[in-house]
A and B are shown apart, each in its own frame.
Chain A
Amino acid sequence: MVDRAVKAPSSLLPLRIEDVCFEAGGRRIIDGISVEIQAGARTVILGPNGAGKSVLMRICHGLLAPTSGRVTWNLSQPANGRHRQAMVFQRPVMLRRSALANVAYGLKLAGAERRERQARAFRALDRLGLAHLAGRSARVLSGGEQQRVAIARAWALEPEVLFLDEPTANLDPQATREVEAAITSIGAAGTKIIMVTHDLGAAKRLADEIVFMHNGRVLERAGAELFFRGPSSREAAAFIRGELL
């Protein structure tokens, strides 16, 4: 990957979330969250279903506007630095075209040159071990392959921040292993990973730090090792024990 420090002297991060609330249909889904997310470590937003994790992520990425409060990046640059962040969804959305064209499509929207697009898209697929599927129609690939194409599409943009919303929730163990390996190597290459999951195993395997959410609030934030060894909140302890919250 290109050394991003050369291209972008100043960082998007830290991401500041200040007093963010989100209401929909009279229900408060996010209830006053303030968190600052730093560059570097892989951050996993963990919590039971319905905690508001995915909504928080969408607010950070700019897909949803908070009802109150604000989300600010270190750079208030063009469109909130949207072109420097990317997101991978729980269910990969594949366009009705080849895997390669799916990745190239993201590059096209990001303003990459036509000639450059194919090569960059192919490199991204290759990094995820999908070069042999480049010409195949994306929508007939398996779930795990589709998710890796989605990750390649996000990665090809060389984002500074990569959001992942339950990227392995619909996948079998083998596909999960492949997707997690991809996430690890993207993180190692210098992209900030912010992932949402309710899966303890995935959190243990991938997290450097944990942001624990329950009922629209952040109850706890700690380094992963510390969190799993001795969570400070009752809810997190119960969640780690596998109890239903």
Chain B
Amino acid sequence: MLPVGRSVGTIALALGQAAELIAGFDPRLVQIVGLSFRVSLAAVVIAALVGLPLGAAIAVARFPGRQAVIVVLNALLGLPSVVVGLLVYLLLSRAGPLGPMGILFTPTAMVVAQAILVTPIIAAFSRQAIEDAWREYEEQLNSLGAGPVQAALTLLWDCRFSLLTTVLGGFGRAVAEVGAVMIVGGNIDGVTRVMTTAIALETSKGDLPLALGLGIVLISLVLALNAAAHLIKEAAQRRYG
């Protein structure tokens, strides 16, 4: 065990170096942060394109087994990212059904894994928000003659601010997860190394400054996302009620 004084000193030193890396736009750090952004952004766009209409459809439609679908959807919120990684790995590995595409250990595979991870989150939360609104709007929209598709579109638009919060939350989840991208991306330096996988690796190698620098960026990002979500919701509440 290191004496306490020294370990604190080590951390302080590493923090200082981490700050230098961030302030100096260290190319390695910038490259890793940039890839994280691109992968998670693409994943969230896909997840939103699938999850929002899915959530709206489940909120508005009445069909047998609907309750079961909602239970499963809510259960998928807690989907462990390593399991998603494993499933996508099996799909994309050379012997797997999508093996011929040859995208395992590429950023594309990471996008796929994160999209699968985030889609249920967006679908489940948007289902909840839209169903609450539907309860208020149902009679009025029926009275005006809105069909199911028209009603779903209207609700999506009317819930746009809480849905934006949901999507930002999905991005936070994607950019912070490590299990899935580690498995399907392989954490290849300069190719598939993102913030979380880099932190895991650099920590085990003992390169604390880079790990800490990335950690600081990641936490700041998640904080900023939550602040943005909060501010948007507040502003919308004041403006639109």
Contact = CB atoms under 8 A, between A and B. Distances in A.
B126 to A, nearest CB: 15
Interface in A143-179: 153
24 contacts: A61-B143, A79-B145, A82-B145, A86-B143, A87-B143, A89-B140, A93-B136, A93-B137, A95-B158, A96-B157, A96-B159, A96-B160, A96-B240, A97-B158, A105-B144, A105-B154, A109-B150, A110-B144, A110-B145, A137-B239, A137-B240, A137-B241, A140-B241, A153-B144
B7 interface: no
B132 to A, nearest CB: 13
A27 B21 CA distance: 72
A166 to B, nearest CB: 13
Contacts of A82: 145
A52 interface: no
Interface of B: 136-137, 139-140, 142-146, 150, 154, 157-160, 239-241
Interface of A: 58, 61, 63, 79, 82-83, 86-87, 89, 93-97, 105-106, 109-110, 137-140, 153
Given A96-B240, A109-B144, A110-B145, 4 more contacts: A61-B143, A95-B154, A105-B144, A109-B145
B147 to A, nearest CB: 9
A87 B160 CA distance: 26
Contacts of B145: 79, 82-83, 109-110
B17 to A, nearest CB: 49
Contacts of B240: 96-97, 137, 139-140
Nearest to B136: A93
A134 to B, nearest CB: 15
Nearest to B142: A63
A97 B159 CA distance: 11
Nearest to A137: B240
